[in-house]
């Protein structure tokens, strides 16, 4: 692979990785059904905390505190993220493998 081709290939891959990162954040954001500090009523928190036997808060807990990060709403596996991760990392490895033979000449 020529130097210019490698640069183009590398640029495309980096762009894809950045896009993937951005998509990951957006998808993770969209996946959150309850955000820390956002509309989390104390009754919700009590329900969540009491629903886990063995995970009781000690006397210092903040049952009355809103604004605390407490995310226990049901979420499924985000296959977009997992699939994207596998896909892009495969692309990175394949691209690196294609570029490898000529890389010896770089030194």
Partner 1 sequence: MSIARVPDSPKPEDQEPKPNAKSKNLLHNKTIKAILQSPWFPGIIQVPVLLVFALIVFELVAGPSDAHGNFGTAGTWVLWWPLIPIILIVLGRFWCAICPFATVSDWVQKWVGNQRPVPKFLKKYGIWLIDIFFILITWSDHVVGIVENPRGSGTLLLLITTGVIASGAFFERRTWCRYLCFLGGLSGNYARSGGLELSATPEKCASCKTQSCYKGNEKAPGCPMFEFPRTMDSMASCNLCANCIKSCPNDSIQLHTRIPSTGLWFINKPKFEESFLAIIIMGIVFVQNITMISIWQPILTALQNIVGTTNYYITFTITFIIAMGLPVLALFAASWGAKLANGKKTVENFARFGYSLIPLDLAGHIAHNLFHLLAEGKSVYFTFLALFGQAIPNGSTALVATPTIQLMQFILIALGTIGSGYAAYRIAKHNFGGEGKTAGSFVPYGVLIVVLAAINVYLFTLPMSMRM
Sign, CA dihedral 7-12-18-21, equals negative
Q: Are 30 and 36 in contact (CB under 8 A)?
A: no
- C-beta of 41 vs 51, nearer to partner 1: 51
Q: Cβ 2 to partner 1, closest distance in Å?
A: 14
Q: Cβ 99 to partner 1, closest distance in Å?
A: 6
Q: Is residue 44 at the binding interface for partner 1, with CB under 8 A as the rule?
A: no
Burial class (CB in 10 A: 0-12, 13-18, 19+), 31: middle
Q: Is residue 103 at the binding interface for partner 1, with CB under 8 A as the rule?
A: yes
Q: Are 68 and 62 in contact (CB under 8 A)?
A: yes
Binding residues for partner 1, rule: CB under 8 A, are: 10, 13-14, 17, 20-21, 24-25, 27-29, 31-32, 35-38, 48, 51-62, 64-78, 81-82, 85, 88-89, 92-93, 95-97, 99-100, 103, 106-107
């Amino acid at each position: 692979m020529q130097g210019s081709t490698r640069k183009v290939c590398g640029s495309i891959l980096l762009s894809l990785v950045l896009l993937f990162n951005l998509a990951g954040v957006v998808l993770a954001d969209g996946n959150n059904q309850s955000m820390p500090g956002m509309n989390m009523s104390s009754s919700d928190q009590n329900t969540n905390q009491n629903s886990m036997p063995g995970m009781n808060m000690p006397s210092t807990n903040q049952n009355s505190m809103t604004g605390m990060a407490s995310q226990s709403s049901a979420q499924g596996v985000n296959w977009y993220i997992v699939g994207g991760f596998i896909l892009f990392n495969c692309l990175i490895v394949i691209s690196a493998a294609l570029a490898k033979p000529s890389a010896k000449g770089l030194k």
